[in-house]
């Protein structure tokens, strides 16, 4: 039993490390890059700010590519960790997150195209205002793409939470937090699409669930790994006694 627990702990800590990098790249993409490149409600100011901070904008694209790559290895590590708990749910968890990665690559292609349009590298016959409007159209497509992907970012957390809850080697409460986090993301997705004026309020409401869910599981996997029950080990090594 102890020999089996060693690779399980290594897998858990690898997943925790990958999760940490994934969270860091996500925070950079969601908070820092937009703060340096986007001016809400002002197309001209946004275009000028992107060109003035082109390097930061490009680092955002590279960051997204790194994040997607890390995400692939993360979901593979989580699948290896939880497939013994319930293989069907582990496959569902894997699939719901994995399908988002190709779409994210396409969204980055829109970002690259937008930058090329703003710099006049393509569509040179268009005047400046037309290029700015078209670039903003691509950015808006990217924004709505993120909104639609959010439903999958929520959905994959539900089987993930169920697996954590059933595992026995991670505290059940972390599984509950993950499920609540997934539900909060799904609610935010539909609010953004149907009632966009309330999306900021819903986002603020859902933020604690994200911290309790994904941040907690990331820290647990990274620091603790998995919890091995000593009584289970004793039962495995207990010699057979003939009567």
pLDDT tens digits along 136-162: 888 888 888 888 899 999 999 999 999
Closest CA to 209 of 186, 242, 240, 238: 186
pLDDT of 170 strictly over 50: yes
What six digits make up the tokens of 85?
């708990």
Query: Is the residue at 235 inside a domain?
Result: no
| Residue pair 49/117 in contact by the 8 Å Cβ criterion | no
| Residue pair 78/160 in contact by the 8 Å Cβ criterion | yes
- Residue 44, domain extent: 2-229
pLDDT of 233 strictly over 70: no
Residues in the chain: 243
- Determine the Cα–Cα distance for residues 185 and 198; give it in Å rounded to an integer: 14
Percent of the chain with pLDDT over 90: 56
By 3-state DSSP, what share of the chain in percent is helix, strand and coil, each rounded to 5? 85, 0, 15
Query: Is the residue at 238 inside a domain?
Result: no
The overall average pLDDT reported for the chain is 87
pLDDT of 181 strictly over 50: yes
Query: Is the residue at 240 inside a domain?
Result: no
Please give the average per-residue pLDDT across 196-210, as a whole number.
86
Closest CA to 152 of 93, 111, 202: 93
pLDDT per residue over 87-132, tens digit each? 999 999 999 999 999 999 999 998 999 999 998 888 888 888 888 8
Please give the average per-residue pLDDT across 198-220, as a whole number.
89
> How many domains does the chain fold into?
1
Q: What is the pLDDT of residue 239?
A: 44
Query: Is the residue at 63 inside a domain?
Result: yes
Query: Is the residue at 237 inside a domain?
Result: no
pLDDT of 243 strictly over 50: no
How remote is the C-alpha of 44 from its chain's centroid?
31
pLDDT-based confidence at residue 1 (cuts at 50, 70, 90): very low
| Residue pair 139/114 in contact by the 8 Å Cβ criterion | yes
Please give the average per-residue pLDDT across 55-75, as a whole number.
95
Query: Is the residue at 241 inside a domain?
Result: no
Query: Is the residue at 242 inside a domain?
Result: no
Residue in this structure with the two tokens 């986007």, named with its chain if needed: 38
Query: Is the residue at 150 inside a domain?
Result: yes
């Amino acid at each position: 039993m102890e020999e089996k627990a060693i690779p399980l702990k290594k897998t858990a800590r690898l997943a925790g490390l990958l999760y940490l990098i994934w969270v860091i790249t996500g925070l950079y993409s969601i908070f820092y890059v937009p703060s340096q490149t986007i001016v809400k409600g002002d197309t001209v100011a946004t275009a000028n700010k992107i060109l003035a901070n082109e390097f930061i904008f490009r680092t955002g694209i590279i960051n997204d590519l790194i994040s997607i790559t890390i995400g692939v290895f993360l979901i593979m590590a989580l699948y290896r960790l939880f497939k013994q708990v319930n293989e069907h749910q582990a496959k569902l968890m894997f699939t719901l997150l994995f399908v988002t990665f190709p779409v994210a690559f396409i969204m980055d292609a829109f970002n690259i195209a937008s930058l090329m349009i703003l710099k006049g590298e393509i569509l040179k016959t268009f005047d400046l205002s037309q290029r700015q409007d078209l670039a903003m159209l691509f950015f808006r497509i990217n924004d709505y793409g993120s909104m639609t992907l959010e439903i999958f970012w929520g959905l994959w957390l539900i089987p993930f939470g169920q697996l954590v809850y059933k595992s026995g080697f991670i505290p059940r409460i972390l599984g509950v937090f993950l499920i609540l986090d997934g539900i909060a993301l799904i609610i935010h997705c539909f609010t953004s699409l149907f009632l966009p004026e309330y999306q900021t309020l819903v986002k603020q409401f859902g933020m604690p669930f994200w911290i309790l869910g994904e941040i907690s599981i990331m820290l647990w996997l990274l620091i603790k790994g998995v919890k091995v029950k000593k009584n289970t080990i004793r039962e495995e090594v207990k010699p057979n006694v003939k009567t």
